[in-house]
Structure 1
């Protein structure tokens, strides 16, 4: 396939269209203030990506409750005090010609121990000091996701993405390995998915008709079962209350980890599903122009760019001008990352990724 389709507009069921098929992945960067308010360096990091040609610029995960904080320097969406910073960000993203989306998140049992003395989850994990939520608290969690979406709308964002992946609290509810509840939020897959669908329903009811809702799912690891996540994805698209589904696959070319499902790509389990007006995208080691084209060739509507967007803020524009574009080779020098809008704190975080950063951390 030529690169032309990557730069075709992509209408969404609600709100404005994406100007091309590139979405910025929600990338943890640890650059916000301790109280969850947006910092200048995080705003600059995202504004650069919007200016670099991404059709939709996604924030890092923004926690919807203080107890849901997953890491230091995390963006917040749990208090009206966050709205001013978010409004400035949404305005700047729009000025660069990109759609804006705030990713809504709760870390659950993966909350950072140094920050959260007693994390919460669907069920108790006594040896880790993790407390299971009461049914009333589950309902409050649902309402806090909805209220965070309303804050995003008030701040001027085009929409939000619900983080239901990677073993965070909504994924913990989806997994029978971590959700051992006996009330209406546990047991069958329908019950385990109830919280997620109540959040989707609540956001759709509480926001304007043109407000966009995305959903991020991951189909493996953290006790998740491919067939169950496939069923959740199918139902979300069947209902049509979301505008896009963002599948986080770690590697868009990989086969399932389940030996019984090998012989085909993990992505193919989702591209074959009826999707109606819901747009489907995928993330996972898309590092060059060929990778991006391959995601569309595999049946997706858009491609979600993570590491390649860290390495080059203008990845879409580089692909536009060079159909053979490839990301810089790893490991990458610190100065290159600083020039691409990463703060020293972000660079320090990236050093956790094996083989990504070369040399020492700049002062």
Structure 2
């Protein structure tokens, strides 16, 4: 079995010092204009100091139209560059490879930044208007420009957010995406924006810049068969350095009963991947879970909850294979000691019932 402490190399960019990465986590700590705050800097750099081989930002909007919620990081223009440069520099100095996650909210935006949300189809309930073909193409270009900005700031790579029901994931929805242009209807058309975004980011950045992609392979209107097929296409494309499969629970049975019999992660480990690395995220809360994933054939794991609860989750697992995250909920004092700022603490307390006690 590959050790979690083993370095991981890629077709582009630096090797990661180990196989444990920080997942992209909404933390609501950015300034209102999307610039980096001191609290967000401290939260992320502390994880680099805690031994994560790669540290990824939260979802960062690629355009004003894609700005999804308050406290979200931005990567759409010169005003964001100083903070992004500071963050990339701090992560590198702390020993981690740095990655920014690029995102557009689409119809999932909270509506405060744009009265009419951009979406693949008209959705009056969400005050969302179907994008024209030209607008879809312009959005692909926005992802490329944001990646180029991140590279100029000194980030080692960027991950394209194609998961969790945000804009790119919305195009994958087999229930609702009945567009009649090249971006709707057939599976190949629904997948098109993902391929184009990856190709555009790759073309806009240099040979030492890592390009990743996050996918949700089920729900959000995505049949598991579609999720597996898109994952296979992306793993085989030669354009990605890694594919990040966000599974919510890597060890559960699929949502669709006809696919029961194999855990979620096992539906992807058998796909040919060439030089593309495969990572999984979802309830990986201790050394035993990390070992299980690596033994099952993934190349790396992405840690969410464990990384919130322990800034040094990665270092602890590498030092002690039996380390397990502290039981939840935890005290606010524990969170503050782990560099969770006031806005992030409020988000965890308000939106999740199992993080913060009292």
For the aligned pair, the TM-score class normalised by the smaller chain equals over 0.9
Does the 8 A contact of 2:75 with 2:149 survive in 1? yes
Separation in structure 1 between the aligned mates of residue 176 and residue 37 of structure 2, nearest angstrom: 34
Separation in structure 1 between the aligned mates of residue 29 and residue 310 of structure 2, nearest angstrom: 18
RMSD over equivalenced CA pairs, Å: 1.0
Does the 8 A contact of 2:64 with 2:113 survive in 1? no
Separation in structure 2 between the aligned mates of residue 188 and residue 210 of structure 1, nearest angstrom: 35
Gaps of 5+ in 1: none
Q: Deviations over 1:317-361 (max 9, x none)?
A: 1112222111111111001001101111101111211221101xx
Separation in structure 2 between the aligned mates of residue 221 and residue 160 of structure 1, nearest angstrom: 25
2:84 corresponds in structure 1 to 86
Counterpart of 1:215 in 2: which secondary structure? strand
Q: Deviations over 1:80-118 (max 9, x none)?
A: 210110001000100111100000001111101344322
Give the alignment partner of residue 302 of structure 1, picking from 281, 300, 303.
Answer: 300
Give the alignment partner of residue 171 of structure 1, picking from 169, 172, 190.
Answer: 169
Q: Deviations over 1:224-272 (max 9, x none)?
A: 1111111111111111110000000011100101011111111111101
2:338 corresponds in structure 1 to 340
Give the alignment partner of residue 209 of structure 1, picking from 201, 207, 210.
Answer: 207
Separation in structure 1 between the aligned mates of residue 66 and residue 102 of structure 2, nearest angstrom: 11
Counterpart of 1:358 in 2: which secondary structure? coil
Question: After TM superposition, where is structure 1 displaced by more than 4 Å over at least 4 residues in a row?
Answer: none
Separation in structure 2 between the aligned mates of residue 229 and residue 263 of structure 1, nearest angstrom: 17
Count of aligned positions = 357
The reply on whether 1:107 has 2:125 as its aligned counterpart is no
Does the 8 A contact of 1:244 with 1:280 survive in 2? yes
Give the alignment partner of residue 46 of structure 1, picking from 28, 44, 47.
Answer: 44
Counterpart of 2:264 in 1: which secondary structure? coil
1:222 corresponds in structure 2 to 220
Counterpart of 2:25 in 1: which secondary structure? coil
2:151 corresponds in structure 1 to 153
1:25 corresponds in structure 2 to 23
2:357 corresponds in structure 1 to 358
Give the alignment partner of residue 246 of structure 1, picking from 244, 247, 253.
Answer: 244
Does the 8 A contact of 1:311 with 1:340 survive in 2? yes
Counterpart of 1:57 in 2: which secondary structure? strand
Separation in structure 2 between the aligned mates of residue 41 and residue 185 of structure 1, nearest angstrom: 39
TM-score (norm 2): 0.98
Does the 8 A contact of 2:269 with 2:296 survive in 1? yes
**1:222, CA displacement in angstroms?**
1.2
Separation in structure 2 between the aligned mates of residue 70 and residue 329 of structure 1, nearest angstrom: 31
1:233 corresponds in structure 2 to 231
The reply on whether 1:266 has 2:259 as its aligned counterpart is no
Does the 8 A contact of 1:67 with 1:111 survive in 2? no
Q: Deviations over 1:151-186 (max 9, x none)?
A: 001001001000000111001011122322100111
Gaps of 5+ in 2: none
